[in-house]
Amino acid sequence: MVRIDIITCLPRLLDSFFAHSILKRAIDANHAEVVVHDLRDYSTSKHKNVDDYAFGGGAGMVMMIEPIANCIRSLQAKRTYDEIIYMTPDGERFEQKTANMLSMCQNLIILCGHYKGVDERVRQHFITKEISIGDYVLSGGELAAAVVSDAIIRLIPGVLNDETSALTDSFQDNLLAPPVYTRPADFEGIKVPEILLSGHEKKINDWRLEQSIERTKARRPDLLG
pLDDT single digits (tens) 103-118: 999 999 999 999 899 9
Number of domains in the chain: 2
pLDDT at 170 over 90: no
The answer to whether residues 15 and 60 belong to one domain is yes
The answer to whether residues 9 and 68 belong to one domain is yes
Distance CA(94)–CA(133), nearest Å, equals 5
Average pLDDT over residues 166-180: 78
The answer to whether residues 47 and 83 belong to one domain is yes
Note whether 69 and 126 are within 8 A (CB).
yes
Please identify, among 153, 184, 200, the residue that sits at the C-terminal boundary of a domain. 153
- Give me the pLDDT at residue 167, please: 59
Note whether 113 and 61 are within 8 A (CB).
no
pLDDT at 171 over 80: no
Average pLDDT over residues 140-151: 97
Do the domain assignments include residue 162?
no
Domain of residue 81: give its range: 2-153
- Give me the pLDDT at residue 225, please: 75
Note whether 35 and 5 are within 8 A (CB).
yes
Nearest to 177 by CA among 221, 210, 199, 202: 210
Average pLDDT of the chain to the nearest whole number: 94
pLDDT at 13 over 80: yes
Specify the CATH number for the domain of residue 128: 3.40.1280.10
